[in-house]
Structure 1
Amino acid sequence: MHTSSLLLPFTLLFILCFVKPSIAWIDTHIHVVTKSYSDAIDAAGGDPSGYAVPSWSVDSCLEFMNVIGDQRAVLSVTAPGPSISGNGTEGRKLARTVNDEVGDIVTENSDSLSFFASTPDWTDVQGTLDELDYIFATQKKAVGVVVMSVYSGHLLGDSMFKPIWEKLNDYKAIVFIHPTWYEISPMNVAGHLSQPIIDYPYGTTRTAADLLLTGRFNDCPDVDIILSHAGGVLPYLATRLAGPLLANPFEYDGRNTTFANFELNLNRFYMDVALSTSSPQLEALIAFGATDRLLFGTDFPYASDQSIQLSSKLLKTFIRTNPKGKLVNEAKLTKNAVGLFKKHGINIHNPKV
């Protein structure tokens, strides 16, 4: 995990100095760990996925940004989120406290930090609606919201969550979907690999497919969604998901799911490249037609130093050596991020860079 000191390990500093971009990144997949959130996870007996919570400080985050070449980081609290405290009063309190804590951090570092605000567990529908009003109508500091891929066994297209999506559409929100723990057996592959390593990308894919097949995304024309980690395996499985609709469109929540709407909304998803920069992954995203919707991300500090080193090296090598590198280079991914946030009335670019 990342260092708790103010300086990154020498190996990370050494390697990343040689891959630092000429145009600074806008990092949309980078995390924050506040005291209240860390305390809540400890009180719950740890992250249910089994993944250890890393230490975090403003100084270590800013130092990392300087090394990797970030001009701006859009911070978010990652899985399991405030639902670690349940879907009642305590979960609501944690979401509010976290948003106030991160809001203060961003206010004090507004030249380089922004954030996606957190919500309560979505099965607490009223609590989530109230927090969205606080985020967008009262606090007015966040550039969007981060939500988990599943809540208590309900994927995000579930009819229960319809009022939440309506509220998000009213606010024309940017929604960053991050995978989280879900029940699967056995939990650890080879008795060792924790769920985030393999199963989280599938969790992202499941909830993205659910949003498409239930028509929920179709109902939110003013919402833009960012999928973590290159959309999971969505670029590989999209045709497999859509194919049956050609012969057998089905009804959900009183309406038909059609191939035309599936295809239209499939091409609305933005995707970050956090830990998803191997040549096969980037080639797949390019073939998928996602180059105008790709965003940069690192997954700091949850990704290990070695993983960030490897991901950065692979991306830089692809940009430098592959004829398609210009489709995913620094200028392109930064332009995509600036354009996305500008669409929602937010100037994410740092004019000092």
Structure 2
Amino acid sequence: MNYSKIDFHAHYLSPGYKHFLKTQFNDMGDGVKTPEYSIDLTLETMDKTNIDYSVISISSPHINTGEMNSTIELAAEVNNYAAEQQRKYPKQIGFLASLPLPHIEASLATIELALTEQHATGFTLPTNSRGVYLGDPLLDPIMESLNEHHAIVALHPNEPGKYDTKIAGQIPTPIMEFFFDTTRTVLNMLQNGIFVRYPHINFIIPHAGAVLPIIASRVKLAQVLNPDLTDEQVDIMAVMRSQYFDVAGIVLPQQLPVLLDLVDQDKLLYASDTPYTPTKFVISLAEQLEQTGILSDAVKQKMFKTNAYRLLNLE
């Protein structure tokens, strides 16, 4: 590997989270087999892919158990585990804390604990928490707190809150529905003024923006069909220019070129999606990004490391 990297989309599975996936999803959360995991796997993948620093986070289906107390307990367990890994490997591991959404007071307390005592890098928010989407006014106090802290907030797709599973048939949720739910969530946030009202949150939109780059030019047309929409509510181009985007998954050859036409190159972030993406594929995808002629050497350096370095205030 020719480029050293900072990984903003790497996952971990704490003992409590593994138990949650086993008991509630029979180890098939969102239709995906729970991978084997220990922090050693993260470190081994980093070594093989020339990743200097990984910011680890919980993946879908995230931590809402359907009951408040157990959700709060699970949030504490996953965050404590990640904070311990950061303490053990401070030069290699950071973490994004999970919030017990949609429970407001507990989430606010978790934000303070994560930042003041656990030294979290930022936070990960699912696109929806059992149907509560991130633009929901219910979550405004959480957004206010994250904004006050100038927080880094990485979105992660979840299974949609409500949809007919028969439509997708045997196609696993991450293949199609994750992209749609990411797109749905960002537009939900846009309509509810999240990006305008909370300008100090650094949002990271995953998987090269999902379907957003494809439909971005259509969004403003919504005003033709619904004149009640304000300019701000349809200004997806401002979101594309101002927010961060990771490149987790298969972004070549189709996605990345379209994304590059719309976003600030200083806000592209490398992402491995380990361990849900097995190490051999992490290596292959990283090699594709290193070797592609679509990106200049300067842009590659930004995407792999410089942009993340700046976001982490390491310069």
State TM-score, norm by structure 1. Answer: 0.82
- Conservation of the 8 A alpha-carbon contact between 1:214 and 1:257: no
Ranges in structure 1 where 5+ consecutive residues have no aligned partner: 1-19
Q: 1:224 to 1:50 in 2, by over 3 A?
A: same
Task: State the secondary structure of the residue aligned to 2:70.
Answer: helix
Match status 1:315 vs 2:289: yes
DSSP-derived class of the 2:254 partner: helix
Matched letter for residue 52 of structure 1: K
Check conservation: 1:250, 1:257, Cα contact below 8 A: no
Identity %: 26
2:91 partner SS? coil
Q: Please report how far the alpha carbon of residue 74 of structure 1 lies from its aligned counterpart in structure 2 after TM superposition.
A: 0.3
CA contact (8 A) 2:202 2:243 kept: yes
CA distance in 2 between counterparts of 1:25 and 1:167 reads 30
Paired residue type of 2:134: L
TM-score of the superposed pair, with normalisation by structure 2: 0.92
Aligned to 2:146: 168
| 1:221 Cα offset (Å) | 1.3
Matched letter for residue 341 of structure 1: L
SS at 1:339's partner residue? helix
| Residue aligning to 2:4 | 24
Q: Which amino acid aligns with 1:79?
A: S
Contact 1:145 1:175 in 2 (8 A): yes
Q: 2:201 aligns with which of 207, 223, 230?
A: 223
Assess if the C-alpha contact under 8 Å between 1:149 and 1:207 holds in 2: yes
1:283 aligns with 2:257: yes
Aligned to 1:75: 56
Distance 2:10 2:78 in 1: 16
The aligned residue for residue 41 of structure 2 is: 60
User: Contact conserved, 1:218 with 1:261, CA < 8 A, in 2?
Assistant: no
For residue 277 of structure 1, report the CA deviation from its aligned partner: 2.9
* Map 1:140-289 → 2, pairs under 5 A: 140-182=118-160, 183-186=162-165, 189=168, 191=170, 193-245=171-223, 248-250=226-228, 256=230, 258=232, 262-289=236-263
Secondary structure, counterpart of 2:273 in structure 1: coil
Q: Secondary structure at the match of 2:155?
A: strand
What is the alpha-carbon distance in structure 2 between the residues aligned to residue 266 and residue 157 of structure 1? 17
Name the CA distance, whole Å, in 2 between partners of 1:197 and 1:94.
Answer: 27
2:102 maps to what in 1?
123
State the distance in 1 between where 2:284 and 2:298 align. 20
In the aligned structure 1, how far is the partner of 2:29 from the partner of 2:303?
37
The CA deviation at 1:58 is: 1.8
Deviation at 1:170, TM superposition (A): 1.3
* 1:11-48 residue CA offsets vs partner (Å, 9 max, x unmatched): xxxxxxxxx12x31000000111111101111213344
CA distance in 2, matches of 1:97, 1:154: 22
Shift of 1:147: 0.7
1:294–1:249: structure 2 CA closer, same or farther, 3 Å change rule? Answer: farther
SS at structure 1 position matched to 2:63:
helix
CA distance in 2, matches of 1:126, 1:97: 17
**Aligned residues between the structures:** 313
Q: Matched residue of 2:203: which SS?
A: strand
2:274 to 279, 294, 300: 300
**Structure 2 CA distance for partners of 1:140 and 1:249, relative to 1, 3 Å:** farther
